Amino acid sequence: MAVIFKDLHTETGLKSLDDHLSGKSYISGDELTKDDIKVYSAVLERPGDSFSNASKWYESVSQQLAASFPGQAVGVRFSSQGSAASAPAEEKKEAPAADDDDDLDLFGDETEEEKQAAEAREAAAKKASAGKKKESGKSSILLDVKPWDDETDMKKLEESVRSVQMEGLTWGASKLVAVGYGIKKLTIMMTIVDDLVSVDNLIEDYLTVEPANEYIQSCDIVAFNKI
């Protein structure tokens, strides 16, 4: 069963996370799991010292990701206005949100239609690669896509993201996550074949240039895992 935390941009949500982590190193115990990455992606910044358990956990997950993928960008922002920055720009202070979009259960419950679509994409990719040299390893990436403002059409933003198609790239499940003042970001999973797709080039050459930059302000690589 997926671990669910609500309102992780509020003190109440962080208190729930902090209490859960009492006596634990990670969400599910003593080892880093996908649950940690899911929760990590929803916590907008390192919790304060008043949430000591959550703060230590956040720092530990950050170090684990950095150590696991040396040279890879973890939490690096790419903006449609220029080159990559060394760290995400500071978010606006979040206003309390009272809708269900703040429930954290990222990608835990795919619909039957989504599963069938994913299987169809995988089958098409295998057919296309038949007879070719054996593919290299694959990576799973969790990407945050930020709009320009609260008036940005998020449906068109997601359509713009998914319209980018290339060999070795498979888009996965997605979710809109509130970041404050009526603004939501698109959190989306993708799988790439390492020898065929460069995430940096994908973002810089496709997602933050015309026509996509009509909707997309910036992209953050939240997590990068070999699979």
Q: Identify the domain boundary among 68, 92, 116.
A: 68
Same domain, 90 and 195: yes
**Element (H or E) spanning 122, and its range?**
helix 112-128
Same domain, 124 and 58: no
Same domain, 103 and 204: yes
Same domain, 205 and 183: yes
pLDDT one-digit tens code per residue, 12-28: 888 888 888 888 888 88
Residues spanned by the domain of 59: 5-68
Average pLDDT over residues 49-78: 71
Same domain, 142 and 211: yes
Whether the predicted model's global pTM rises above the 0.85 cut:
no
Q: Is the pLDDT of residue 82 over 50?
A: no
**Element (H or E) spanning 184, and its range?**
strand 183-193
What contacts 143, CB < 8 A, 6 or more positions away? Answer: 187, 188, 189, 190, 219, 220, 221, 222
At 98 the pLDDT is 44
Q: CA-based angle 205:208:214, to the nearest 5?
A: 130
Same domain, 46 and 132: no
Q: Identify the domain boundary among 15, 35, 68.
A: 68
pLDDT band at residue 124 under the 50/70/90 scheme: confident
Q: CA 128 to CA 21: how far, in whole Å?
A: 45
- Percent of the residues in the chain that have a pLDDT greater than 90, as a whole number: 36
Total domains in the fold of the chain: 2
pLDDT one-digit tens code per residue, 202-214: 999 999 899 999 9
Q: Is the pLDDT of residue 73 over 50?
A: no
Q: How far is CA 133 from CA 81, 101, 125, 130, 196, in A?
A: 38, 43, 14, 8, 12
At 146 the pLDDT is 93
Q: Is the pLDDT of residue 131 over 70?
A: no
User: Comparing 33-47, 158-172, 179-193, which segment has the lowest mean pLDDT?
Assistant: 33-47
Same domain, 86 and 194: yes
Q: Phi/psi of residue 179, each to 5°?
A: -115, -5
Same domain, 137 and 219: yes
Same domain, 108 and 92: yes
